[in-house]
Structure 1
Amino acid sequence: MASLPAPVSRVTPIIWTGSANAGQRHVAEEVPVALVYDASTEAVMMATPADLEDFAYGFSLNEGLISQMEDIRRLDIVPGPNGIEARMWLTPAHSQAMTARRRSRTGPTGCGLCGLDSLEEVLRLRTPIRPSALRLTASDIMAAVTSLETRQPLGDQTRAVHAAGFWMPREGLVAVREDVGRHNALDKLAGALARTGVRGETGAIVLTSRISVEMVQKAAAIGAPVLIAISAPTALALRTAEAAGLTVIAVARHNGFEVFTHPERIVLADS
């Protein structure tokens, strides 16, 4: 059986800075990863070949294909000559639901919103945020953003991947996952949290990417009441976050941030 490729490769570009010189650079690998349920492929994503067990569980949870980890009876990561398969076998009830889902599908799937049946399904909020006692100060938010900067080994090497982290008061960052795809990084984080028993309502998700509607939907599926990003949100993402009860903090930098939705969870007295 083929082995998994390394997540980073080294290349030798010609570097021009007034004159041409041979150089070296680390670049992120990007491979097709097929999410396969009961021997049928549900989606193929271009992803970094690392933390693929987390990816399989997180994608399954965030897309509503399973409701808990135990709904997957077996998971195998199988590399091949053309990519990698994450082969999952579901419990009988979820296997039947997956079969019904495939039969009702009206068209081909895409990579950002995978396996959706209609335009209405794209905009459907699967999981509103449950009540949470989480409150964050301005110092908490800045600490979360700063902490994520120091926990991106692939990003430090390649400058070409996104990161998603989970930050908890008094504990800091408890998990970070990286990937060439921002959706994939958040799915991997979801899987890591589920596999370690960390509940989403206990902390905040921190992203290096912009906040699009899919990122809001995935954050809501995880159950995190606060989503922090260094980049800006889209208008649809904000409308979805408002309806979900999700606090969105974006444009988070060393010198400040912007709170877009549900500011009641943010205590700014220390600022």
Structure 2
Amino acid sequence: MTPDGARNAAAIEHFADGRAARALTRALVDEAPIAIEINGIGYAVMMATPADLDDYALGFCLSEQLIATRSGFVSADAVQVPGGGWMLRVVLDAPSAGPLIDRARLRLAEGSCGLCGIESLEQVLRPLAPVTARLNVDKAAVFRAVSALGDHQVLGRVTRAAHAAAFCDVDGTIRCLREDVGRHNAFDKLIGALAQAGIDPGTGFVVLTARCSFELVQKAVIANVPVMATISAASTLAVAQARDHGLTLYSLAREDSLLEI
């Protein structure tokens, strides 16, 4: 059975050892443009997997700091449009819409540097409130979570093309996981899912199947995640951002080793 976020496609498998090629059906991860409209204002167009879009909408608004808590989020409605894209219509309460309107006004007047809703390089590197959550996570718990990750990656296991973001208890038990073709989207979906369930991100740690970029660290800091581990390596700016804001960062996390950086 094909999971949500994947579609079957006809393919031909070829072999290096000279065996005859064979026809088969292969599950591909779904990728589509998703236009995000907030309170009637066009905000961004993201390439993402159109699954768990309610979680994505909420997590996106939290990561973008358009709202501070779940209470500022009213609703989200996802509609598929002709041509294969999606419109994600989000409604925030009136007080929360203030930063959105200000940001949209500036975006119309100035060029964007490429990050959603960001008008200048100064805003990309803007200071954030430091992580206040404190959690003592044994390295064995991180190894346990990384080891169990594959069992929870339904979309990734079928397509071999989806990133995952997992929230884990202090003992390494995976409590929630979301997947997407984009690593940033997977993390936003996870943040949204935790907010929907009323789970405090400060009570556990996050594991990502991705390289550790600046934007992912920024999302973790905004969500008040105390500890994050990534499967691939970290960038210089990601490490600096983590250190400056009190995020414990592990990279190149494997079942038997990790890099504390």
Report the TM-score, using the length of structure 1 for normalisation.
0.89
Match of 1:102 in 2: 104
Instruction: Give the drift of 1:171.
Output: 7.0
Cα distance in 1 for residues equivalent to 2:75 and 2:142: 38
The question of 1:119 aligning with 2:121 is answered: yes
Match of 2:94 in 1: 92
Q: Would the alpha carbon gap of residues 109 and 204 (structure 1) be closer, same or farther in structure 2, given more than 3 Å must change?
A: same
Match of 2:13 in 1: 15
**What are the Cα deviations for residues 169-188 of structure 1, in whole angstroms up to 9, with x where unaligned?**
24711100000000000000
> Relative to structure 2, which stretch is displaced further, 176-185 or 72-81?
72-81
> Relative to structure 2, which stretch is displaced further, 92-101 or 22-31?
92-101
Cα distance in 1 for residues equivalent to 2:197 and 2:4: 24
Cα distance in 1 for residues equivalent to 2:39 and 2:152: 35
Q: Is the 8 A contact 1:142 1:256 kept in 2?
A: yes
Q: Is the 8 A contact 1:43 1:109 kept in 2?
A: no
Match of 1:186 in 2: 187
The question of 1:172 aligning with 2:173 is answered: yes
Instruction: Give the drift of 1:144.
Output: 1.2
Q: Would the alpha carbon gap of residues 258 and 171 (structure 1) be closer, same or farther in structure 2, given more than 3 Å must change?
A: closer
> Matches of residues 203-218 of structure 1 in structure 2 within 5 Å?
203-218=204-219
Q: Would the alpha carbon gap of residues 173 and 212 (structure 1) be closer, same or farther in structure 2, given more than 3 Å must change?
A: same
Cα distance in 2 for residues equivalent to 1:184 and 1:137: 28
> Which residue identity does 2:103 align to in structure 1?
R
> Relative to structure 2, which stretch is displaced further, 166-175 or 186-195?
166-175
Identity of aligned residues (%): 41
Cα distance in 2 for residues equivalent to 1:97 and 1:225: 26
SS in 1 for 2:7: strand
Instruction: Give the drift of 1:8.
Output: 0.8
Q: Is the 8 A contact 1:125 1:217 kept in 2?
A: no
Q: Is the 8 A contact 2:137 2:171 kept in 1?
A: no
Match of 1:128 in 2: 130
Match of 2:43 in 1: 42
- Specify every segment of 5 or more residues in structure 2 that has no aligned partner in the other structure, as ranges: none
Q: Would the alpha carbon gap of residues 144 and 171 (structure 1) be closer, same or farther in structure 2, given more than 3 Å must change?
A: closer
Cα distance in 2 for residues equivalent to 1:145 and 1:10: 28
> Which residue identity does 2:91 align to in structure 1?
W
Match of 1:237 in 2: 238
Cα distance in 1 for residues equivalent to 2:210 and 2:127: 21
Match of 1:63 in 2: 64
> Relative to structure 2, which stretch is displaced further, 248-257 or 184-193?
248-257
Q: Which runs of at least 4 in structure 1 moved beyond 4 Å after TM superposition?
A: none
Cα distance in 1 for residues equivalent to 2:11 and 2:113: 36
C-alpha RMSD over aligned residues: 1.6
Match of 2:80 in 1: 79
Cα distance in 2 for residues equivalent to 1:173 and 1:240: 26
Q: Is the 8 A contact 2:4 2:155 kept in 1?
A: no
Cα distance in 2 for residues equivalent to 1:144 and 1:171: 5
**What are the Cα deviations for residues 150-169 of structure 1, in whole angstroms up to 9, with x where unaligned?**
10000010000100000012
Instruction: Give the drift of 1:96.
Output: 3.0
**What are the Cα deviations for residues 89-110 of structure 1, in whole angstroms up to 9, with x where unaligned?**
2222222332122122321463
Report the TM-score, using the length of structure 2 for normalisation.
0.92
Instruction: Give the drift of 1:6.
Output: 5.0
> Which residue identity does 1:16 align to in structure 2?
H
